Amino acid sequence: MLFIQDKEMNKSNELKIKQMKTKTLKELVEEVKEKKVRNIPTFNQEIDQFLNGGISLGEITQIVGFPGSGKSQLCMQIACNVQLPEEIGGLNSESIYYDSYSQFCISRVQRMAECICASYPEYKLNVKEILEKIHVYQPHDIVSLCSSLLSINNKLNKVKVIIIDSIPTFYKKAMCNDTIRLAALHRIIQILSIYSNKYYLSVVIVNHLTTKKINSNYTSIDYTQSAPFLTYFLRNGGVIFTSYIKNSIFLYQIESKYKAIIQTTTRLQNGNISFEITEDGFR
């Protein structure tokens, strides 16, 4: 069970304590110069432009949407693209992919890898090597996901993106009470935040939308229970996610057309973007 609170959760606390080192302003400026601005491209030009090159390093990005909106397609594309040579916008790195459905589509990723290799023949990229650098984990619930994340601390030197597809599915699978599940969820977000800073990597979390009905005059002084209810779409995770997530990408489909709305903590205006899911991948 989760009594990661005793033994394994203490490991996460140790990680956090080790991160708390005092730095001078000069050291921080030098760090920024060394890191530069390097992101993971998505292969959608508008998304990449809005996000200054793609999925940010050192931050947690949330991909949200209903089933069939393209969330896993984008995740698989990111897992491939992080391996691109630096000369063409990649990071020449590896990825860790947490699959909650136990149905990771190898053939789909292989097709994406084949397209990348064909597009950049001068770099002599290899499909087999691309597949080998995507490390897939399939823990059975939120508790085992937490344990697994603690165990990979010493395996992240070559990794530049951790993808979790998806948090709500891992959460629902847990055969334990809500207190334990929420504790595991909160610990997971903390661990991912530590890793993103310690190793300067991207964290991508897939989240789902849920519905909530609220009385239409809920805030009115004339409140009545008979008033009609309005239906709102909300992200799972609530306040547990809010303070950690820097960027959110909302994917949806209207009349067979795919759209993305991007929200960031650094821009006042949201990006409203079109994208496609082709035979070759996310575009």
Question: In whole angstroms, what is the distance from residue 81 CA to residue 100 CA?
Answer: 21
Listing DSSP states for 39-50 in one string gives EE--S-HHHHHH
**Within-domain flag for 3:** no
Q: What is the pLDDT of residue 176?
A: 82
**Within-domain flag for 166:** yes
> Which residue in this structure is represented by tokens 């395996």?
155
233 and 48 Cβ atoms separated by less than 8 Å: no
Give the global pTM.
Answer: 0.81
Residues with Cβ < 8 Å from 283, sequence gap 6 or more? 43, 44, 275, 276, 277
Phi first, then psi: give them for residue 137, nearest 5 degrees.
Answer: -115, 145
**Within-domain flag for 168:** yes
> Which residue, 214, 162, 150, is CA-closest to 15?
150
Q: Is pLDDT larger for residue 84 or for residue 38?
A: 84
Return the C-alpha torsion angle 160, 168, 263, 213, nearest 10: 180
Give residue 116's pLDDT band: very low, low, confident or very high (50, 70, 90): very high
Domains of the chain: total: 1
Q: What is the pLDDT of residue 20?
A: 54
Mean pLDDT of the chain: 83
> Which residue, 103, 102, 95, is CA-closest to 162?
95
248 and 51 Cβ atoms separated by less than 8 Å: no
**Within-domain flag for 228:** yes
Is the per-residue pLDDT at 122 higher than 70? yes
Question: In whole angstroms, what is the distance from residue 39 CA to residue 136 CA?
Answer: 22
pLDDT tens column, 266-280: 775 777 899 999 999
> Which residue, 77, 82, 88, 85, is CA-closest to 112?
77
> Which residue in this structure is represented by tokens 């496609």?
276
Q: Is pLDDT larger for residue 7 or for residue 208?
A: 208
**Within-domain flag for 263:** yes
Listing DSSP states for 168-200 in one string gives HHHHHH--S-HHHHHHHHHHHHHHHHHHHHHTT
Give residue 151's pLDDT band: very low, low, confident or very high (50, 70, 90): very high
Overall average pLDDT of the 225-230 stretch: 49
Question: In whole angstroms, what is the distance from residue 40 CA to residue 52 CA?
Answer: 10
Domain containing 249 equals 57-282
Is the per-residue pLDDT at 260 higher than 60? yes
Instruction: Output the domain CATH number for residue 99.
Output: 3.40.50.300
Question: In whole angstroms, what is the distance from residue 125 CA to residue 116 CA?
Answer: 8
Q: Work out the percent of the chain whose per-residue pLDDT is above 70.
A: 76
H-helix segments, 8-141: 8-19, 25-35, 45-50, 71-81, 106-119, 127-132
Overall average pLDDT of the 154-180 stretch: 89
**Within-domain flag for 159:** yes
Residue 73 burial by Cβ neighbours in a 10 Å radius (0-12, 13-18, 19+): buried
**Within-domain flag for 78:** yes
**Within-domain flag for 156:** yes
